[in-house]
Structure 1
Amino acid sequence: MSCPPVSMLALLLMLLTSSLVNGNVTGQPKNPKYKGSGTTSNIRNIVIGRCYHYMFLHPGIGVRNCSGIWQELIDAVQRKDPCKITQEDYKRLAQVAAQTVPCDKTLLWSRTNNLVHRYTKATENFVTLEDTFLGFLFNGLTWCGKTLRPGLNYKSCPAWDECEYNSVSSFWKMASAAFAQASCGIVNVMLNGSAEGDISRKQSILRTVEIPNLDPSRVSEVKVWVIDDIEGEDKNSCDSASLMELENYIEEHKLKYSCIDNYRPVQALQCADNPDHAACNKCTYL
């Protein structure tokens, strides 16, 4: 058999070199297509901008290395399978973004995302995870790395429930655990009394991460606020079976429990948008 011409050899060499550069040699899989959206556009600028913004709003946090924090995120996920990222991978990021949480200020939540953050913004008396430095930096963002190459995948990332150890869910579990561990005094929890099913789902981060990471030697009480939607049904209250089960779960972790139905300051915020509603014309206060 005659040898291929030099031009053909050059073409073959070019194709092989291209495959090596792109991590696509025969036998090596391409980055798979995931169910979730890809890394948020301009994520680096967003994170670093938020970092400087948070330092401006909260000077007590001190000067932080915003570029260094961003690099810790990159180091945690690049060249790794996006479905094999664990909380341990974010250990360094948690350390460089650590923050003291004032006692009696922690406000955990489940199924009350919009209301709880309206409340903390309006009163500034409590702190949710998303109000902390770490939560503020990455709230609402999506990211994941590429298994075979450096950098981030902007085409697709695993959805929250697509695999157990994906980039975003492992991050929030890590951040939630750190927030709970830093909490002290009274820890408040806002739950949705109008939600379908159990008021606190057993697979929720509240149940699987936050409550188990509260330190009974530092937390004096877990105070649950059951808040009905102002126009919604009263499906759960402090004496409902779902809340009694949650009470048992909290007390199993050696934590004191108490419960309030429709905590009046939160209901007052709801009434700002619904001043004529019957629930807004009560004269009793808690």
Structure 2
Amino acid sequence: MSWHCASRPVIGNLWLGSMLTLMALMVLASTVVNGHAPISNQKDQGKKYTGAGTTSNLRNIVIGRCYHYMSLYPDTGDKNCTDIWQELIDAVQKKDPCKISEEDYTRLSLVSAQTIPCDKTLLWSRTNDLVHRYTKATQNFITLEDTFLGFLFNGLMWCGKPLRPGMNFKSCPAWNECDKNSISSFWKMASAAFARSSCGVVNVMLNGSADGDIARKESILRTVEIPNMDPARVSEVKLWVIDDIQGEDKNSCDSKSLLELKQYIEEHNLKYSCIDNYRPVQALQCADNPDHAACNRCNYH
């Protein structure tokens, strides 16, 4: 009798320990199944990046822009705005924001595809404000930001969380914070698609007053857009070298930087031409600076 009385607490403790272990395993399995990170991974969920977090009300903005663009340009076709939003979510959610590739956006690119008229493509490098003032004023050319895909996401920020659904509204990687982040990979994908769909004469507005090479070797123009042009469809790449109306003339069509860019373009079997201070663009600059010497009627030609 004394042996049985002594052994009961031991058996009870073993049973209790087994049940506690089983319950702990069940809780852990539940957190994994439901997409919640284990405690050891909680730090990954709270990682701080140097960029701003996902834009507030991103879904409403994207879907609203989608319908607005189709109302402005009926030739865009009947796009499913909700599907487009879902493709963005599927591309980035539950993924490391620094491990998002251009391929992750393939489906988004397909459902947002658009036909670009020949001779209308206008690429740019280091002329962001001027090029969009020009396309808005003339409506004769289309930049990436004027396309359906570019219009939807221009100026917005987004990224997901590594192990959880939904978007990270606290912080996202800045453009150069990591090689394959959710924003840079998106714009590289969009730029490549824009270049591939271009035909006829492709115009490029460059800043002749910028320091250094007029088109840096790491620029989207050189790393993405020129390599993705189809020589069978693009008849010419025409560069517009535009000086700031108040700036210096640091680069022109015969400068070393432009001649090197010319060689790079021709290496991709593309025809090249160049013009300094394209007159219609300079006219727009002179509208804001009518008394500047460069806008003198005798010099303006």
Residue 30 of structure 1: CA displacement?
A: 2.7
Residue 175 of structure 1: CA displacement?
A: 0.4
Equivalence for 2:6: none
In the alignment, does 2:224 pair up with 1:209?
A: yes
Structure 2 residue runs without a partner (length 5+): 1-9, 14-19
Residue 281 of structure 1: CA displacement?
A: 1.3
Match of 1:195 among 210, 214, 225: 210
In the alignment, does 2:275 pair up with 1:260?
A: yes
In the alignment, does 2:179 pair up with 1:164?
A: yes
Q: Distance in 1 between matches of 2:37 and 2:262?
A: 53
The RMSD of aligned alpha carbons is 2.0
**For residues 1-286 of structure 1, what are the structure 2 equivalents within 5 Å?**
20=31, 23-28=36-41, 29-31=43-45, 32-283=47-298
Contact 2:35/2:165 (8 A) holds in 1: no
Q: Which amino acid counterpart does residue 30 of structure 1 have in structure 2?
A: D
Provide Cα deviations, 1:158-195, integer angstroms capped at 9, x if missing partner: 11001111001000000000000000000000000000
Counterpart secondary structure, 2:135 = helix
Q: Distance in 1 between matches of 2:292 and 2:158?
A: 42
Residue 285 of structure 1: CA displacement?
A: 6.4
Q: Which amino acid counterpart does residue 104 of structure 1 have in structure 2?
A: D
Residue 27 of structure 1: CA displacement?
A: 2.8
Counterpart secondary structure, 1:191 = strand
Residue 83 of structure 1: CA displacement?
A: 0.7
Contact 2:294/2:300 (8 A) holds in 1: no
Residue 62 of structure 1: CA displacement?
A: 1.5
Residue 267 of structure 1: CA displacement?
A: 0.4
Summarize the Cα distance change of 1:264–1:98 in structure 2 as closer, same or farther, 3 Å threshold. Answer: same
Q: Distance in 2 between matches of 1:262 and 1:169?
A: 30
Equivalence for 2:17: none
Computing the radius of gyration from Cα coordinates, the structure with the larger value is 2
Q: Which amino acid counterpart does residue 215 of structure 1 have in structure 2?
A: D
Give TM-score scaled by structure 2 length: 0.88
Counterpart secondary structure, 1:30 = helix
What fraction of aligned residue pairs are identical, expressed as a percent? 75
Q: Distance in 2 between matches of 1:88 and 1:146?
A: 18
More helix by share: 2
Q: Distance in 2 between matches of 1:271 and 1:238?
A: 21
Contact 2:37/2:164 (8 A) holds in 1: no
Q: Distance in 1 between matches of 2:279 and 2:219?
A: 26
Counterpart secondary structure, 2:118 = coil
Q: Which amino acid counterpart does residue 107 of structure 2 have in structure 1?
A: R
Q: Distance in 1 between matches of 2:130 and 2:111?
A: 30
Q: Distance in 1 between matches of 2:197 and 2:299?
A: 35
Counterpart secondary structure, 1:68 = helix
Q: Which amino acid counterpart does residue 228 of structure 1 have in structure 2?
A: D
Q: Which amino acid counterpart does residue 84 of structure 1 have in structure 2?
A: K
